[in-house]
Amino acid sequence: MEQIPEEKLMDKLLEKRQVTPRMIEAISEKLVKFYFTAETSDLIKSFAKPERVKQDTDENFEQTEKYIDMTLSGEVYEEVKNRTNEFFETNGQIFEQRITSDRIRDCHGDLRLEHIFWGDEISIFDCIEFNQRFRYTDVAADIAFLAMDLDYHGREDLSEHLMGAYVGESGDHELMEVLDFYKCYRAYVRGKVESFRLDDPHIPEREKKEALKRAQEYFNLARRYAQRF
């Protein structure tokens, strides 16, 4: 098995400020082709019904309530929770429109910078194979993870370039109606995952402090997105 050189992973390239708009366009082109050919079916589409997606967001809020005043403030928690629930109440038609437009596919599920290799050919790896619930989703939710990751690392310019390139090539203009919602969801999940690390007795205190900081940053980012929808 050939080992992927880590210096060619997109997160490492971003740290060295070596990611260019043209590289983002190339990744967008690959994603457009991937989503266009990705499997869809009535079963896959059922995972994007608003009541089903709400099960995921409800679970997030239930699992993070214990971290209030630790990794997120009560104010952030309530604002993201309330705005998320309001989005479901007022935008049910958008979810249904995404389904009827065949935008629900067998996606990657964990589309982050560290899972993209920049070489002679772009390789996107480590998709979530073990859980249909995470993988069967709106393409907007999938690419929102990558856009959020760029935002988190302070490259909103590249995030905007990614979405402009993707929408232009795919013709999926309606994606923008749910982008901030799904960015918020992805940022909140990352905050939750980092919060879980604080409960792991095998993680050294130094690493827990770093996880605490990352969790706070992700939750605050989720709040910024929530304020936009």
- pLDDT (0 to 100) of residue 2: 57
The domain tally of the chain equals: 1
Number of CB atoms found within 10 A of residue 12's CB: 16
Sole residue written with tokens 């900081």: 213
Q: Does 1 reside within a domain?
A: no
Q: What are phi and psi of 131, to 5 degrees?
A: -145, 105
pTM value is 0.95
Measured distance CA(129)–CA(117) in Å, rounded: 19
Measured distance CA(20)–CA(96) in Å, rounded: 36
Q: Does 33 reside within a domain?
A: yes
Q: Which domain holds residue 41?
A: 6-226
Q: What are phi and psi of 73, to 5 degrees?
A: -80, 160
The per-residue pLDDT for range 3-57, each reduced to its tens digit, is: 677 899 999 999 999 999 999 999 999 999 999 999 999 999 999 999 999 999 9
Q: Does 134 reside within a domain?
A: yes
Sole residue written with tokens 């599920």: 109
Q: Does 153 reside within a domain?
A: yes
Give the CATH number, domain containing residue 104. 3.90.1200
Q: Does 168 reside within a domain?
A: yes
The per-residue pLDDT for range 163-193, each reduced to its tens digit, is: 999 999 999 999 999 999 999 999 999 999 9
Q: Does 160 reside within a domain?
A: yes
- pLDDT (0 to 100) of residue 1: 44
